[in-house]
Amino acid sequence: MTSIPTAITADQKSQFENEGFLIVKGLFEAEQLKEIERTFEEISHRTIPGYFMPDLNAAASDPLKRYPRVMHPHRFNETAKSYMLHKPVLDVLRDLYEEEPLAAQSMFYYKPPGSRGQALHQDNFYLRVEPGNCIAAWTAVDAADEDNGGLLVVPKTNGYDIVCPDKADENESFTTHYVKPPKDRKVVPAVMAKGDVLFFNGNLIHGSYRNKTKDRFRRAFICHYANASAASIAAHYRPLFRADGSEVMLDANPAGGPCGVLNDSAYPH
């Protein structure tokens, strides 16, 4: 009997199921990472209403006003869409879901030196994939560690329910929501090399601290996916896309919303 090739090992699959997250190396070639860098460097000098609205003359007191996150770049940029549907990433997702993945969202975070982090939260509070769950694929465009505000995860919280968040500290988080980790779980850094991809479950509690460096960006290309058997997702994430780029329109789940409400109402979306 011939076994079906898989993108990850049984041990990797087990880690994802038990811990709620998995770092996979080697899914992007060096030139592909350079193409992502070039694409978002070009975008960083423009204003794209509804998707990327920087203050190009912003003072250094809040670097995120000059470099806010880019929302849904796949909706206006073909390179971003192609990497949202990057085959090696989809192959891993197919193994994790044990069915076809559907691409729901893309984002790009510049996270320049000195910028605030994002308080601990759960992604499926926003996406509301039902039945099933969302999975994030968080690609490190720069090496990410504790100094430059790399991602933090709370292992084994993937089995916890989605909870109503508390209010975050606006001095440290650019979004308003905060989910307190259970007392028996510790927050740990997901230290990543350039090009590593962190996959994590939509219930996993995660976030990031401030970029404490003076000269290191922490750029990341982040996409969220749903399982093909899902019936609904928050309307903000429709349409979804199959691996071949064709659209899928799930029912709108009224419980969800945009991923992370910004702390400052005047902050550029």
Question: Domain holding 45: CATH number?
Answer: 2.60.120.620
Instruction: For residue 174, give its domain range.
Output: 10-54+61-252
Number of domains in the chain: 1
**Is 259 inside a domain boundary?**
no
Q: State pLDDT tens for residues 18-37.
A: 999 999 999 999 999 999 99
**Is 215 inside a domain boundary?**
yes
First to last CA, the chain: 53
**Is 109 inside a domain boundary?**
yes
**Is 38 inside a domain boundary?**
yes
pLDDT > 80? residue 59 = no
Long-range contacts, stretch 29-34, CB < 8 angstroms, 24+ apart = 30/195, 32/83, 32/86, 33/141, 33/194, 33/195
Q: Degrees (nearest 5) of the Cα angle 60, 62, 67?
A: 90
**Is 65 inside a domain boundary?**
yes
> Per-residue confidence at 65, pLDDT binned at 50, 70, 90?
very high
**Is 30 inside a domain boundary?**
yes
Q: State pLDDT tens for residues 200-258.
A: 999 999 999 999 999 999 999 999 999 999 999 999 999 999 999 999 999 999 986 55
**Is 261 inside a domain boundary?**
no
Q: State pLDDT tens for residues 108-151.
A: 999 999 999 999 999 999 999 999 999 999 999 999 999 999 99
Q: How far apart are CA 201 and CA 18, in angstroms?
A: 11
**Is 101 inside a domain boundary?**
yes
